[in-house]
Amino acid sequence: MGMSQPVNHWQKQTLYTPAERARRDATVWTLVQGILAPLQFLAFAISLCLVINFLLNGVGFTAATISVVVKTSLLYAIMVTGAIWEKVVFGRYLFAPSFFWEDVVSMLVMALHTAYVVMWLAGWGTPTEQMWVALAAYASYVVNALQFLLKFQAAKQTSTANLGATPSVMSAQGALES
């Protein structure tokens, strides 16, 4: 019985207040995030294949390296623009309550990608060791991407459930969802 209360409370929370939702929908940074996220995922998918190919077959180190650097560059772009988006929507660059844990894991993702780049630039470790660090960075990226996908899915379900609450809520949310 004690566990059902917090679950119900969590389910009733919304990701955005009406003002935050309005700011989210009005800022160009939402579109930027919407473009960068799938580009980063595409770079990840291609790079993952190249990294695994190198680790399994010992060939394609240059292609794998370039792909990890491209993926890392897109990660930095999405992190910087995401921080700007978070500032516009929530009033702080990172760790807004709505995205606190996603931001925490994002820091790990950044640290691992940065560790790879530093290893590569400094020539630290063997090519295989460098690619294992890239693979660890990619594993953390997958966890972080799943966090965001689950968060947005829950927000969408909450938003849809709230559409029938009152006419004013329905009209405001309907206009913002389009």
- In three-state form (DSSP H/G/I as H, E/B as E, the rest C), the secondary structure along 24-73 is HHHCHHHHHHHHHHHHHHHHHHHHHHHHHHHHHHCCCHHHHHHHHHHHHH
Q: What is the pLDDT of residues 42-70, one digit of tens each?
A: 999 999 999 999 999 999 999 999 999 99
Quote the CA–CA distance of 141 and 113 in Å, as a whole number.
9
Q: Which residues contact 13 (CB under 8 A, 6 or more apart)?
A: 158
Quote the CA–CA distance of 86 and 84 in Å, as a whole number.
5
Report, in this order, helix, strand and coil percent for the chain, each rounded to 5.
Answer: 85, 0, 15
3-class DSSP state of 123: coil
Q: pLDDT 10s per residue in the chain (178 long)?
A: 444 444 444 444 678 889 999 999 999 999 999 999 999 999 999 999 999 999 999 999 999 999 999 999 999 999 999 999 999 999 999 999 989 999 999 999 999 999 999 999 999 999 999 999 999 999 999 999 999 889 888 877 766 665 554 444 333 333 333 3
